Amino acid sequence: MSYRPMLAEPADAPFGGAGWLFEVKWDGIRAIAHVGETLSIMTRNDNDVTHKFPELNELSKLTSKVVLDGEIIVMKGGRPDFQAVAKRVQASKLGDIEREARESPCTYVVFDILEKDGEPLTGRPLSERKAILRESLRDGEHVVVSSYVVGEGEAYYEAAVARGLEGVVAKRLDSPYRAGERSREWLKVKRVRTVDCVVVGYTRGTGNRADTFGALLLGLYDGDKLTFVGRVGTGFTDKSLRELLAAFRPYETAEQQAEAPDVPAGSTWLRPGVVAEVGYQNLTDDDRLRAPRFLRLRTDKAPRDCTIAQVRPVTLEEYNAKRNFSKSPEPVGEGTKPKGGSYVVQEHHARHLHWDLRLERDGVLKSWAVPKGPPEKPGERRLAVAVEDHPLDYGGFEGTIPEGEYGAGTVKIWDRGTYEAGEWGEEKIEFTVHGERLSGPYELVRFRKAGEKNWLLFKKRE
C-alpha cells in the first residue's frame, strides 16, 4: 500500500500543552520508506530516491515489514543543510551518487510508523504509533528514531532555535495519521529570519494581480553595489498591493538597478528609495533568499543600511591581519560554519584586565571588550568597546597569547552558553543570555559621545 505524507499547518507562535508532543523540524526531504523484501524510499511527490541514498540500505538490517515516515537530512557544521541534500537528489550518475554519499552522508530521521507486518497503523493515535516505532526500529549509523518531548513546547522551541535549527513540529498525541492531508492536529512552529531589503523593482502582474504587480525584486548592498537576492511574491493583501504600487511610482526608472539575469521581461526597475522587511528561511548557495515572504515596508530605514552582511557572514580580515598564527595559539579565522546562538565571556589578562563579550551573529562572534566586566545586577551599566569580529572557534579558546603579539596575555572562559537576539540595530542590541553564570535580558546601547566604537552594556530586569 502506498502512502502520502501527513502535512502540518503553520502555528502563529510557540506553545505548550499536555496533549501535544514536540519534535525538531528538520530541514531536509520528506520520505516514506517501505522496508520489506525490497526497500523503496519515496518522496512526497512520489519520486523514488532509493538509489540516491545508498547508505540507507541499512534500513533492511534495522527493521522489517514496516512503512516509515521521516526526513532525510545532511548535516553540515552541526546543522541541517538543505542545499546539500537537494544536491544529492539531483545527482544522477552512479559515480556522482557514490561521491556525494561519501562527502555528504545523510541521516534518515524517522518520526512515524504507518504499517507493520502488513497491518495499517494510521488509524491508531500517535502515542501508540510512537511506541510501536520504538519497538520496531533500531538506530543505525544513518538511521535514527526522532526524539521528542511532551508538553514543554515553548522551551523545546527555544532550545531548537538556539542550536540554529528551523523550529519544531507540534503533534497531538491522540492524532491519527491522515495520509495526504494537511491538518491542524500537526502544527509547524518555524523560526522566521528577517532581512531589510532595497526594493529594486517589481514584476508584471497576471491574473487577479494584472492591475498591480506579481513580485518585488530585492537587493542588498555589497559595498557600493546592489546585489540581487531574489523576489518575493507572497505576504500581500489586495490593499497592500495597491498601496505599494502607488509608493513605487516616484522611483520608477528605465535603468536596471542590479545584475539579475532571471528577472522576467517586462519588469519595472526602481531607484533605491523603498525598503521592505522580508521574512526568509535561509540563504541559498547562490545568495538568494529561500522561502521569502513580505512582512512590511520600513519607512524608518535608509536603503544604504540594507547590506549583505545581514544574511552573509562578514569576513574576518581584520582579525586575521592582527595576528601571527605561527606564534599565537588563537584559532585561525577560516569562516567556520555557524553553530547557532552561541555566547561566551572570556576573562582576558592583557596589559589591562578586561572581559570580552562575544555573541554569534552572521557566522562570526560579534565582540566587545568590557573593562569592568559584564553587569550582574539589574540597572548596572558597563562601558563596552566594540572590537573586530572573531571566528566562531574563538568561543572555546583558552590559552596564553605570547608577549609581543596582539592581545598578549592569558585568556580563559568566564561564562558561556546560548543567547536569543531581540532587536539588533545600529544603535541598540537586545539579547537574552542563558549562561552558566549570567542569565536574563541584556541591552547594548550606542554611546557615541564617548567614541564611535563605544557602547553601554545594561543588565535589564526580568
Q: Domain residues of the chain, as ranges? A: 7-190, 193-310, 317-459
Give the cell for residue 258: 542590479
Class of domain 7-190: alpha beta
Helices 94-103 and 82-90: angle between axes, nearest 10 degrees: 160
SS3 percent helix, strand, coil of the chain, rounded to 5, is 20, 45, 40
Supply the pLDDT for residue 335. 47
Give the cell for residue 352: 589591562
Give the cell for residue 147: 526524539
Q: Rg (Cα) of the chain, in Å, rounded?
A: 25
Tell me how far apart the alpha carbons of residues 162 and 78 are, in angstroms, rounded to a whole number: 12
Supply the pLDDT for residue 338. 55
Tell me how far apart the alpha carbons of residues 352 and 354 are, in angstroms, rounded to a whole number: 6
Strands 275-280, 293-297: pairing is antiparallel
Residue 283 φ/ψ, nearest 5 degrees: -105, 130
Give the cell for residue 259: 545584475
Phi-psi region of 393 (alpha: psi -120 to 50; beta: other; left: phi over 0): alpha
Strand partners, 202: 216, 268
Tell the residue number behind the cell numbers 520504538, with chain if given: 134
Annotation says 65 is catalytic: no
Supply the pLDDT for residue 333. 65
Secondary structure letter of residue 185 according to DSSP: E
Per-residue pLDDT of the chain in tens (462 residues, 90 and over written 9): 789 999 999 887 899 999 999 999 998 999 999 999 999 999 988 889 999 999 999 999 999 999 999 999 999 877 888 888 888 988 889 999 999 999 999 999 999 999 999 999 999 999 999 999 999 999 999 999 999 999 999 999 988 887 778 899 999 999 999 999 989 999 999 877 788 999 999 999 999 999 999 999 999 988 778 999 999 999 999 999 999 999 999 999 999 999 888 889 899 999 999 999 998 877 887 889 988 999 888 887 789 878 887 786 556 778 888 888 888 999 876 545 556 689 999 999 999 999 999 999 877 899 999 999 999 999 899 999 999 999 888 999 999 999 999 999 999 999 999 999 888 888 899 999 999 999 999 999 998 887 789 999 999 988
The whole model's pTM is what? 0.54
Supply the pLDDT for residue 326. 83
- Domain spanning 193-310: CATH 3.40.50.720: no
With a CB cutoff of 8 Å and minimum separation 6, the contacts of 199 are 216, 217, 218, 219, 248, 270, 274, 275, 276
| Candidate list 25, 339, 366, 459, residue with the active-site label | 25
Strand partners, 216: 202, 232
User: Is there a contact between 299 and 223 (Cβ–Cβ < 8 Å)?
Assistant: no
